[in-house]
Homo-oligomer: A and B are copies of this chain.
Amino acid sequence: MTQVDHTRMANAIRGLAMDAVEKAKSGHPGLPMGAADIATVLFTQFLKFDAADPAWPDRDRFVLSAGHGSMLLYSLLYLTGNKEMTLDQLKHFRQLGSLTPGHPENFHTKGIETTTGPLGQGIATAVGMALAEKMLAAEFGKKIVNHHTYVLASDGDLMEGISQEAIALAGHWRLNKMIVLYDSNGISIDGPTSLSDSVDQVKRFKSAGWAAELIDGQDQQAIAAAITRAQKSNKPSMIACKTTIGYGAPHKAGTAKAHGEALGEEELKAAKEKLGISLEPFSVPDDVLKAWREAGARGAAAHKEWDEQFNQLGSRKRAEFERRIRHERPQSLAKALRAHKKSLLENPLNVATRKSSEAAIEVIAAAMPMEFVAGSADLTGSNNNKAKSAVAFAAKAPKGRFIHYGIREHGMAACLNGIFLHGGFAPNGATFLVFTDYARGAIRLSALMGTGVVYVMTHDSIGLGEDGPTHQPVEHLSALRAMPNMRVFRPCDAVETAECWELALNRIDGPTVLALTRQNLPQLRTTAPNDNPCSHGAYELVAAQGDAKVSLFASGSEVQIAVEAQKQLAERGIATRVVSVPALELLLSQPAERQNAIIGNAPVKIAIEAAVRWGWDAVIGHDGEFIGMHGFGASAPVKDLFKHFGITAEAVVNAALKRV
């Protein structure tokens, strides 16, 4: 082992961070400089990792919740010997195509556990990772799954509300292998945090069931001692590390000026001189680099030992573990869903799609009982996503696969990301569709990172009735469809619901929203072909007799209205077809030829959806008819509401007659 003074090791981070931000003329030098001591202690003495294999399943997770301090992470990846993170990458910090974007992107750069930058997401996602570790360890044993989840969090992370949801869950679940290092530098963009904050974070975390203490974050001994204590705790631990932002910068250290911009030539030079770092940009002394590389290889032995343990598992168990980590679905799933659809055709299920979804979930959970992890933000009985066989997860019931998240939609969504990113599970979470608003920060990260999580969003329209406009989504379908890499399915019956669940589970490069009704719906489908018509976003459900004069497009609960209107129009001799559109944005991403074939060229096009029109003009044209919502909903029994807002077969028929 090369013996190099801790401070010189830490200064390597500081130097690289300063240089990269300076070269980019953009970025955040202050956090890496302040937190370099914490990171050095963690990465050289505690973190279990093998730089040669950043995908080793039992590595400790390190989440830089303070994503703006990305140069800390990039420096660490380079120093510890991550193969792709070359010095050249650091020199192209924040440039197009480099592996060193402004904020860490796990889908882009190997060795990064999750995408951070939007504050609070990292710590909340890490809770999901630590939860997954606990669940997977309970299943495969501690010889195979036994690692920590470390988080470096900033003042800003802890101001965001999502952090409260996250720490409440971690405390409740006693995720004692989660250790948060809080970089308490007391500075945010506007200035000292005293401008807007006086929370005692140690007391706050303790109130949520954490072990918490305050230390000097520039003192390597104190850091090491605190991490050692944390590793022994039976609670999750928060170590508030008092640090100086921009540590070493003679004029800017400890001020907001060190936070989010290059230090400037002069200050950089003075900082390097003060710290004893070479003025040569991007230089790291040979012995320091060697010591860092040794730190990066430190875990190789543990990795080897793990490989041996893993090989001692039976071949079946090994294959299962590997399949799960790859997010590959079991072969039995497709078969089981096929059988389920067949049985629906024989025994139609005329129930709410949240209930059809429950029926599908029973089949899915039977096929993948330990990997299908469901949960709800305190609406379990309404969301219907708990399989009968599912047991509630708890601190003392780590084999439970149903998670009670409490009334914490944002925390839940971030947890789902963390569970998926950890690997081993197909997570879904549930609440009312309207409350995607609360979770949108984390939902967007699902889409950006491409996590294959499923959002089971019930009560998907005014169809929820009496709870009124605060609980009735009207713009949410549109707002979610607008999000890149998001799939939004709104099935119209039990068969489509099963098909959409299948598509959702097989989608492992992006999230899916299932928008489901509260109210009962008739089963409309009489066929269930293997090629799954929902996979194109839309398909002709009812053909016209002869050349169609009218095309009716609808999703979810409004498809039955379209089908009823079709009958009435056909009776009047007006050839009408019905296109079911379970996924509007998916239809619009199909090749032009297929889109045209599905949309057709009937002179009258009418869309029916109990939501806003926004987006539908792509199908019906700006001069098309839209039967739906034109504002917020109202509180009343469901039957009154559809009538009140004019979303009825009668209205569709009248609109068609007016046009034909």
Show the binding face of A for B, using Cβ within 8 Å.
Answer: 24, 26-27, 67, 94-98, 101-103, 105, 115-120, 155-156, 159-165, 168-169, 171-172, 188-190, 193, 195-201, 203-204, 206-209, 376, 378-382, 392, 404-408, 410-411, 434-435, 437-438, 440-441, 444-445, 447-448, 465-471, 474-475, 478-479, 481-485, 585, 612, 614-615, 617-619, 621-622, 629-632, 634-637, 640-641, 644
Contacts and interface: CB of A to CB of B under 8 A. Distances in A.
B171 A160 contact: no
B159 A165 contact: yes
A635 B195 contact: no
Nearest to A589: B630
Contact of A636 (B95, B197, B201, B636): B95
Given A160-B438, A162-B161, A470-B448, A195 B115 contact: no
Given A404-B196, A440-B438, A466 B622 contact: no
Given A479-B482, A622-B619, A190 B635 contact: no
Contact of A483 (B159, B445, B475, B485): B475
A161 B163 contact: yes
A630 B392 CA distance: 41
Contacts of A444: 437
Copy count, this protein chain: 2
Contact of A165 (B161, B378, B469): B161
A448 B198 CA distance: 33
Contact of A641 (B96, B189, B468): B96
A341 to B, nearest CB: 31
B467 A117 contact: yes
B441 A437 contact: yes
Given A115-B470, A188-B406, A206-B203, A644 B485 contact: no
In the complex, the 9 A-B pairs of residues with the closest C-beta atoms, listed nearest first: A161-B161, A101-B635, A196-B406, A117-B470, A96-B636, A164-B164, A203-B207, A479-B479, A482-B614
5 contacts: A95-B636, A101-B468, A161-B165, A196-B405, A479-B482
B159 A161 contact: no
Q: Which of A404, A435, A635 has the most CB of B within 10 A?
A: A635
B406 A102 contact: no
B156 A378 contact: yes
B438 A118 contact: yes
Contacts of A617: 615, 617-618, 622
A94 B467 CA distance: 8
A376 to B, nearest CB: 7
Nearest to A119: B407
